[in-house]
A and B are shown apart, each in its own frame.
Chain A
């Protein structure tokens, strides 16, 4: 039997900042669909960044990060997938208050933390329309596209975890 990788699923975002909560929602959907899996820890709400992420990732062999994103010309509800390898270019300068994600990972590895390889940090990000207004509902632009987006992410996360995942009815 193939050994399963110790995996952490992180829902990044602010649960009361309209579309910024999309990663938190997706993590909730993964948790519901997955049920109990001893090799998988789902952190539905992870509102930290930079150096603090080291504590969240240390000891895991794989991470699945669910987040919101804004790109130029992107349509709300577009889903993107990349690994931390795509973030290597950002190992310079810094965040507003902290080291950025890629810098934190490199520092953690240099200091001997047991962290997943860049290729094993899978980021799923959803294009959002409004991440600056306080509110607990998704924006009118994102809400109608969210179910399709959630199903796509569930399917791909399920593939990574070796189990079909579907949203609860």
Chain B
């Protein structure tokens, strides 16, 4: 008989979310380290494999954003084969990705962000979840959320052939197109998603903006950083998730650089610290300046808010209205209030839905010329897309037979590693003061900081019991003086 055990959530993913806060002799925060594990050996795993297999393999890197890896990888592989892609395939890939964005953003907003605002940041942790949200706003809204998420998933399944782990993209295009029957199935789903994105904005206005305390927390809490912003933009500097150039804008709104994916290595480098395996990307031309804010910093964030900060506009009209309302309410652009990323996600979803509608009305979308078979191998490619949680870069090289010789990835959350580290320290310094006994409340305040980034720390694909263990240790004079852990109940 297999052993029966009581599940302690802390044990499932041991080692995640370890935060060490070092205090000085007076008890004030001196330093803070946020350590998380990282998966190993991907580069070695793919070396020696046919390069065209990589888009199918990389979906396994992450259980949360398989589509982002699939598409970034496909773009890198397209480039390894000379870079010609069927125009229809570009539309279909983009269409698929808009559905994926909605699917992911719904989960983050309703399951993770909304509990802090609908239930309140001070709410009992046992109620601070999607169940608490549904208890407050009603079962009907819970049903809408689940329905919209399933519809976004269904669109991905229709387009890509599978609900998760797509095997759809091939060098030069995709393996299947969209037929008339499938398009007719997608149309009503898209119409409902368009309504749902507007509904989500209304809910945000009512629940969050209607509460001055929440607005104050967003704008004036410890959740701001003077670092730069990164995101993809199209030729008009409008927000783009699948294609375009990477634009970096500083926290005062000035463009620092704009580059094509193939040039990423000239603009971004990665710093290594001895206390963590996860690297810290920074703007290469400024050099590593340490974990500091301000004009000279070389650090940036790559989040939904950063994407809206770097863009001059949204790509669709209703999203543009939502974008203007957001920045007008938040005091202008760029916005440095990290918690505004939750609002930015909702604005992005509006664009996602409008773009889906646009593709549904595109007379060419059901055509059959969805692939150009490559006729040469050029040996190197970089693919960049915006993953939900930040700019995602895949860089491959292959030999003359198309066998992978190297792979380098900078994933979405890694871009934000330094910012997560810094804001954690900022929140800790706000919470922990000499002479004031810290309490369990620090856990949620720290969580709110890193939750705004929608981080995807490790790419474990299953979730039993399915939450991220978090431990905060206070260290003074070399000794651990207090430890806070999330209670299992």
Chain A residues proximal to chain B, CB less than 8 Å: 12-17, 20, 23, 45-52, 54-55, 65, 67-72, 78-82, 86-87, 89-103, 106-108, 110-111, 123-125, 131-135, 152-153, 156
**Cα separation A71 to B464 with both chains bound (whole Å):** 12
Chain B positions 157-195 with a Cβ under 8 Å from a chain A Cβ = 163-165
CB <8 Å contact, A97 and B64: yes
Q: Is B235 positioned at the interface, with any CB of A under 8 Å from its CB?
A: no
Can you list the 9 inter-chain pairs with the closest CB atoms, starting with the nearest? A49-B463, A100-B466, A81-B2, A134-B45, A90-B465, A47-B461, A12-B462, A79-B2, A99-B111
Chain B positions 340-386 with a Cβ under 8 Å from a chain A Cβ = none
CB <8 Å contact, A80 and B3: yes
Which chain A positions have C-beta within 8 A of B44?
134
B56-100, CB under 8 A of A: which get 1 and which 0? 010010011010000000000000000000000000000000000
CB <8 Å contact, A14 and B126: no
Q: Is B468 positioned at the interface, with any CB of A under 8 Å from its CB?
A: yes
Which chain B positions have C-beta within 8 A of A16?
45, 57, 60
CB <8 Å contact, A51 and B460: no
Which chain A positions have C-beta within 8 A of B461?
12-14, 17, 20, 47-49
**Cα separation A165 to B216 with both chains bound (whole Å):** 61
Binds A, one of B8-16, B256-264, B281-289: B8-16
B21-45, CB under 8 A of A: which get 1 and which 0? 0000000000000000111111011
CB <8 Å contact, A72 and B9: no
- Given known pairs A93-B128, A101-B465, the reply for A71 and B11 (CB within 8 Å) is yes
Chain B residues proximal to chain A, CB less than 8 Å: 1-9, 11-14, 37-42, 44-45, 57, 60, 63-64, 66, 104, 107-108, 111-112, 115, 125-131, 134, 139, 142-143, 146, 149-150, 153, 163-165, 447, 454-468, 486, 488-489
Which chain A positions have C-beta within 8 A of B134?
107, 110
- Given known pairs A96-B456, A98-B463, A134-B45, the reply for A103 and B130 (CB within 8 Å) is yes
- Given known pairs A16-B60, A93-B125, A111-B139, the reply for A47 and B11 (CB within 8 Å) is no
CB <8 Å contact, A81 and B63: no
SS class of chain A's interface: helix, strand, loop or mixed? mixed
**Most chain B Cβ neighbours within 10 Å, of A45, A69, A81, A96:** A96
Nearest CB on B from A147, distance (A): 15
CB <8 Å contact, A49 and B129: no
CB <8 Å contact, B129 and A133: no
Which chain A positions have C-beta within 8 A of B4?
80-82
CB <8 Å contact, B45 and A135: yes
**Cα separation A102 to B53 with both chains bound (whole Å):** 36
* Residue of A whose beta carbon sits closest to that of B488: A89
- Given known pairs A14-B460, A50-B107, A94-B111, the reply for A135 and B41 (CB within 8 Å) is yes
**Cα separation A23 to B40 with both chains bound (whole Å):** 20
CB <8 Å contact, A79 and B489: no
CB <8 Å contact, A133 and B40: yes
Which chain A positions have C-beta within 8 A of B111?
50-51, 94-95, 98-99, 103
Which chain B positions have C-beta within 8 A of A96?
64, 455-458, 467-468
* Residue of A whose beta carbon sits closest to that of B58: A16
**Cα separation A108 to B146 with both chains bound (whole Å):** 9
A–B pairs, 8, beta carbons within 8 Å: A12-B462, A79-B2, A86-B6, A89-B488, A90-B466, A90-B467, A100-B463, A123-B464
CB <8 Å contact, B6 and A47: no
**Most chain B Cβ neighbours within 10 Å, of A48, A91, A94, A153:** A94
CB <8 Å contact, A93 and B463: no
* Residue of B whose beta carbon sits closest to that of A79: B2
* Residue of B whose beta carbon sits closest to that of A152: B2
Not counting A45-B165, A94-B467, a sample of 16 additional A-B residue pairs whose C-beta atoms are within 8 angstroms of each other reads A12-B462, A14-B462, A15-B60, A47-B461, A81-B3, A81-B4, A89-B9, A89-B488, A90-B467, A95-B463, A95-B466, A96-B467, A99-B130, A107-B134, A132-B458, A156-B2
Nearest CB on A from B149, distance (A): 6
Nearest CB on B from A79, distance (A): 4
CB <8 Å contact, B129 and A103: yes
Nearest CB on B from A56, distance (A): 9
**Cα separation A84 to B111 with both chains bound (whole Å):** 20
Which chain A positions have C-beta within 8 A of B489?
89-90, 92
Nearest CB on A from B119, distance (A): 11
* Residue of A whose beta carbon sits closest to that of B43: A134
Which chain B positions have C-beta within 8 A of A68?
462
* Residue of B whose beta carbon sits closest to that of A47: B461
Which chain B positions have C-beta within 8 A of A82?
4-5, 7
